[in-house]
A and B are shown apart, each in its own frame.
Chain A
Amino acid sequence: MKFIIFLALIVSTASAANPAVGSMDDRAKEIVDRVDQLMRGDSSRADIRMEIQSKHWKRILEAKAWSKGTERALIQIRKPVKERGTATLRAEENIWNYLPKVERVIKIPSSMMMGSWMGSHFTNDDLVKESRMITDYHITISFDGERSGTKVWEFTMAPVENAAVVWGKLVLEVRQEDYMPTWQRYYDEDGEMVRTMTFGDYRKLDDRLVPTLMEVRPTDTPEEYTRVIYQDIDFDVDLADEFFSLRNLRAQRLD
Chain B
Amino acid sequence: MAIGMIMLAFVLSIMAGMKRDMINQGTSLLLGHMQIHAKDYRPDRSIYDAIPAGRSDLLGQLRGDPSVLGAAPRVSTFGLASSGNKSIGVEILGMEAAAERNVTILHEKLIEGSLPEPSEQSQIAIGELAAKALGVSLGGEVILIAQAADGSLGNDLFTVSGIFRSGLDLLDGGMAILDLGAAQSLIALPAETIHEIALRTASPTDAKTVASALERTLANPAIEVSPWQTLTPELSSWVAMSDSWSWIMYVIVFSLAAISVLNTMLMAVFERLREFGVLAAIGMKPRSVVALIVIEVTALAGVSLLVAIAIGTPLLRRVVGKGIDLSSFSDGFSVTGVAVGPIIRGDWVFGDFAVGAALLFVCAALAGLYPAMRAAAVDPARLTRGEIR
Contacts and interface: CB of A to CB of B under 8 A. Distances in A.
Interface of A: 52, 54-59, 82-83, 86, 97, 99, 101-102, 104, 106-109, 111-112, 115-116, 118-119
5 contacts: A59-B151, A101-B155, A104-B82, A107-B86, A115-B89
Given A104-B157, A106-B80, A107-B85, A99 B151 contact: no
A107 B86 CA distance: 7
Nearest to A111: B89
Contact of B88 (A56, A83, A109): A109
B246 interface: no
A235 to B, nearest CB: 30
Given A56-B149, A59-B152, A106-B82, A99 B143 contact: yes
Contacts of A99: 143, 145, 153, 155
Interface string B56-76: 000000000000000000000
B48 interface: yes
B153 A106 contact: no
B126 to A, nearest CB: 16
* Residue of B48, B150, B151, B157 with most chain A CB atoms under a 10 A cut-off: B151
A119 B152 contact: yes
Contact of B150 (A57, A97, A115, A116): A57
B151 A57 contact: yes
A119 B151 contact: yes
A97 to B, nearest CB: 7
A106 B151 contact: no
B82 to A, nearest CB: 4
A195 B149 CA distance: 23
Nearest to B147: A119
B205 interface: no
B82 A83 contact: no
Given A99-B145, A107-B82, A109-B89, A56 B156 contact: no
A245 to B, nearest CB: 15
A116 B151 CA distance: 11
Interface in B161-204: none
Contacts of A106: 80, 82, 87, 143, 145
Contacts of B156: 101-102
Contacts of B86: 107, 109
A106 B81 CA distance: 9
Contacts of A58: 151
Given A59-B152, A111-B88, 9 more contacts: A52-B151, A58-B151, A59-B151, A83-B153, A104-B143, A107-B85, A107-B87, A108-B87, A112-B80
Contacts of B157: 102, 104
A97 B147 CA distance: 14
A38 B355 CA distance: 83
Nearest to B89: A111
Nearest to A86: B153
A108 B80 contact: yes
Contacts of B145: 97, 99, 106
Contact of B87 (A52, A55, A83, A112): A112
Sort A-B residue pairs by CB-CB distance and give the 9 closest, nearest first: A102-B157, A57-B151, A106-B82, A59-B151, A109-B87, A99-B155, A119-B151, A111-B89, A104-B143
Contacts of A82: 152
Interface in B289-313: none
A57 to B, nearest CB: 4
B155 A102 contact: yes
B270 to A, nearest CB: 72
Contacts of B89: 109, 111-112, 115
A109 B151 CA distance: 21
A55 B149 CA distance: 11
Given A107-B82, A111-B88, A116 B147 contact: yes
Interface string B88-103: 1100000000000000
A119 B153 contact: yes
Contacts of A111: 88-89
Nearest to A101: B155
A101 B188 CA distance: 14
A113 B123 CA distance: 27
A83 B152 contact: yes
A62 B81 CA distance: 26
A57 B187 CA distance: 14
Contacts of B153: 83, 86, 99, 118-119
Contacts of B48: 55-56
A151 B48 CA distance: 45
Contacts of B147: 116, 119
Interface string B35-69: 00000000000001000000000000000000000
Interface string B127-147: 000000000000000010101
A109 to B, nearest CB: 4
A108 B153 CA distance: 14
Contacts of A116: 147
A137 B87 CA distance: 30
